[in-house]
Amino acid sequence: MTSPDPRTRPVAAVLYRGGEVSARRDLLAVEDPLEIRVATADDPEPRRLSMTMRTPGDDADLAAGFLYTEGIVRNREQIAGITCSEDHVRVDLAAGVRLPEAVPKRSFVMTSACGVCGRASLDNLRAQPPGPLTPGLPQLAATVVPGLPGALLRAQATFAATGGIHAAGLFDLRGELRLLREDVGRHNAVDKLVGALLLAGQLPASDAVLMVSARASFELVQKALMAQIPIFAAVGAPSSLAVELAVEADMTLLGFVREGRFTVYSGGIRITR
């Protein structure tokens, strides 16, 4: 078994099933380190900003999305260029754009399991969103929601090959998938999606639904809020802090979106029957 796709890698394995044992080759989702480096016009020597474990592919989107959801850049014009290598991405900021003073004090060492593992305290977790969400808008029909997980799963090519990767999908209000990104890290998948929107000039995404193949954690809800996505849906459960943030921001938060049902934890006014 060979894999021309850099997102997957074949490995030798032994399958035990029904008392029978057989050798096989499995495809696994790749998890490799990526360093994000940032340079400014005033200081062209790139500074290491983050080290993350990610699935290769869409690395420019990942870097752009990370900088945006962390509040380091506010629009695509603040990014002069992105250069990708096998193990790092260099982001050059536009003239006049500087790294915030707080950046050197924050540790952005991440694993594929946690987007904020390196932060020093809860006070440092919150990034300032570009603006408030529009109260009560947009409106999403309740009948659309149960179809989102299936549409997301059908579009997950790497998950179909490996069974071991997360996805973030952006849907319109009719339940049509607009954009998909996959990664072993759920926060990376969302950053890749937000970064793609940023580089395409499609932020804010105030008329869309974000669906993730994971639980609704604080960091994922915050990334959606930074992109001004008003409706967040997750296959799994929300955390208490995710619900608190969603309520505070007037975001619609849906959990346990699976098997034809879902639970509304915040912003139910946007869901119509």
Residue 182, annotated as binding a ligand: no
What tens digit of pLDDT does each residue of 222-255 get? 999 999 999 999 999 999 999 999 999 999 999 9
**Residue 126's pLDDT is what?**
74
- Report the chain's mean pLDDT, rounded to a whole number: 91
In the predicted model, what is the mean pLDDT of residues 162-174? 97
258 in a labelled binding site: yes
260 annotated ligand binder? yes
User: What are the residues whose beta carbons fall under 8 Å from the beta carbon of 13, sequence distance 6 or more?
Assistant: 23, 24, 25, 26
| Percentage, residues of the chain above pLDDT 70 | 90
Least confident window among 1-15, 197-211, 250-264: 1-15
Cβ–Cβ < 8 Å for 202, 61: no
84 is catalytic: no
The catalytic residue among 80, 114, 177, 241 is 114
Query: Which of residues 116 and 14 earns the better pLDDT score?
Result: 14
The DSSP code for 252 is E
pLDDT at 234: 98
Q: Band of the pLDDT at 55, cuts 50, 70, 90? A: very high
Q: What is the 3-state secondary structure (H, E, C) of 23-73?
A: EEEEEEECCEEEEEEEECCCCCCCEEEEEEEECCCCHHHHHHHHHHHCCCC
Whether residue 8 has pLDDT greater than 70: yes
Residue 266's pLDDT is: 97
Token pair belonging to 107: 């540790």
The token pair that represents 101 in the structure block: 């003073």
As a whole number of angstroms, the distance between CA 60 and CA 113 comes to 20
96-154 residue pLDDT tens: 998 876 555 444 555 555 555 545 445 556 778 889 999 999 999 999 999 999 999 99
The reported pLDDT for the residue numbered 102 is: 56
Structural domains of the chain, with CATH = 32-124 (3.10.20.10), 140-272 (3.40.140.10)
Task: Answer yes or no: is 261 a known binding residue.
Answer: yes
257 annotated to a ligand binding site: yes
State residue 94's pLDDT score. 97
Q: How far is CA 146 from CA 6, 96, 132, 160, 216, in A?
A: 32, 46, 27, 20, 17
Tell me the average pLDDT across 206-215.
Answer: 97
Q: Assign 1 a pLDDT band (cuts: 50, 70, 90).
A: low
| 89 in a known ligand binding site | no
Token reading at 199: 């580089």
